[in-house]
Amino acid sequence: MRNAPTVLHLDMDAFFAQAEQASKPSLRGKAVIVGGLGPRGVVATASYEARVFGVHSAMPMAQARRLAPNAAYLVPRFMFYRAISDQVMALLRALSPLVEPLSLDEAFVDLEAGGAAWDGESAQAAGIRLRADIRAVTGLTGSVGLAASKMLAKIASERAKPDGLVLIEPGTERALLGTMPVRTLPGVGPATGDHLRRAGITTVDELAEAGEDELVRLLGKAHGHALYGMALARDERPVVSDRETKSVSVEDTYDVDIHDRLRVGLEVGRLADRCVRRLREAGLSGRTIVLKVRRYDFSTRTRSETLRGPTDDPAVVREAAARLLDSVDTTGGVRLLGVGVSGLADYTQEDLFAQAAGELRSAAPEEESAREPAEPEETPVEHRWRPGLDIRHAELGHGWVQGSGLGRVTVRFETPWSDVGRVRTFRVDDPALEPADPLPLVPGAPPGRPVAEPPPQEAQPRTTAPGPGACPASTR
């Protein structure tokens, strides 16, 4: 482990919810919950104002609505979040060539590799500068942890939340970790935590005192050895630049179980098309097609088929997914479907295109149409206007959907840089309404490209985590 805190961990604060607050002036300082809004939806992100009521990610949306009935509930806008993420990752790569993204809103950076830091003072300065640059480019806040290892840098960023910076000085790690619960350590999930608790081990100090032999006996050689090292604050994992994507997949959970076999097939075809779109956006192709089916009784069936070579042809993926579906019994109903592609490459196998063309030519017309995405024809017009989505009116301009139902849609007309906007209600089929692309959070900056704007004056880092009532988006 290095002797300077030159590993940086960035975690954007309540990222999806903060982006929505920054995008919608009327929601700043208010409880915002982003996720699936159907009966079986789950919370993707909750703003800090919503967390005060006990709402957290992965919570069933129905439970969140009981805890925070007056919060704003929005569907995710992943393309919008990805555009902001691209801006943030560009700032990280300006610091160092070694950036390890963990998700859209989280990454490790090796500051030493880029020459951005070599000791505690320079690392802290780099962290302060990064947070200021992120605010200038995106209007959002992120929390930064600095330490001599990845494990400790992530712990530091958790302590810095929201909108703070915490640096763990080398040599203080054992004292810091000792009183923390074992769940703090990477690799200790609910099952491992319960197993350790039954053995009388609840803190990191108790984990270290148990000894390596006892942990190997309890957890197995690999896991026990790794956790013992982490309990002693040992973490030699390097920051790995641009971790390889192993698969691309999409899945949908349905509010009501699907019993009609034809409808199941149509949904699988639609998911296959969405999966291919993601593949192409990433410039990838794949050899193995995977189908996931969760049935009415929560049992899950997974089937896969490996092709002769990698493809990004939607017809090939649809045909393979349909063949896989033939081997799954959907009697009783289906609550979740997913299609994925693995065995990824950055090229395609040319003969697969010919194979797809031949299969399409031999297909009957009704079979071809059955496998085309049915969303435009089948989706009721009111379902186009889901809460949080961007909308444009021919005369009133840009706004976002507050809600829809009973043939009506309510729109608030405002932009990220406007005052709180007014609300109007329209028929869902009003010809003056059309879906719109998200607007950038900083005026004049198209999403996905940083703006050349000087950062604000550097502030002193926060060395302890602030209270939960702070609102990152309202301080932008």
Rounded CA-CA distance 378/140 in Å is 38
Choice among 20, 106, 112, 267 that is catalytic = 106
What does DSSP assign to residue 126? H
Count the alpha carbons within 13 Å of 72 in the hemisphere toward its beta carbon.
29
Rounded CA-CA distance 309/255 in Å is 36
Give the 3-state secondary structure of residue 51: helix
Q: How far is CA 62 from CA 41, 67, 73, 384, in A?
A: 8, 9, 11, 22
| Edge-first strand listing for the sheet containing 433-435 | 422-427, 408-413, 397-405, 390-393, 433-435
C-beta of residue 21 within 8 angstroms of C-beta of residue 47? yes
Count the alpha carbons within 13 Å of 362 in the hemisphere toward its beta carbon.
7
C-beta of residue 438 within 8 angstroms of C-beta of residue 83? yes
- Give the length of the chain: 476
**Bridging pattern class, strands 142-147 and 106-110:** unpaired
Rounded CA-CA distance 65/404 in Å is 17
- Helix (H) or strand (E) segment spanning residue 191: helix 190-198
Active site residue 106: yes
Amino acid at 23: S
At 156, give phi and psi (nearest 5°). Answer: -65, -40
370, two tokens: 């059955």
Q: Which of 243, 11, 4 is nearest to 115 (CA)?
A: 4
Amino acid at 102: L
Beta bridge partners of 459: none
Handedness of CA 453, 458, 461, 462 (dihedral sign): negative
Rounded CA-CA distance 399/391 in Å is 5
25 contacts: CB under 8 Å, gap ≥ 6: 414, 416, 418, 419, 420, 421
The count of other CB atoms within 10 Å of the CB of residue 74 is: 26
C-beta of residue 73 within 8 angstroms of C-beta of residue 17? no
CA-derived radius of gyration, the chain: 25
Q: Which residues are catalytic?
A: 106
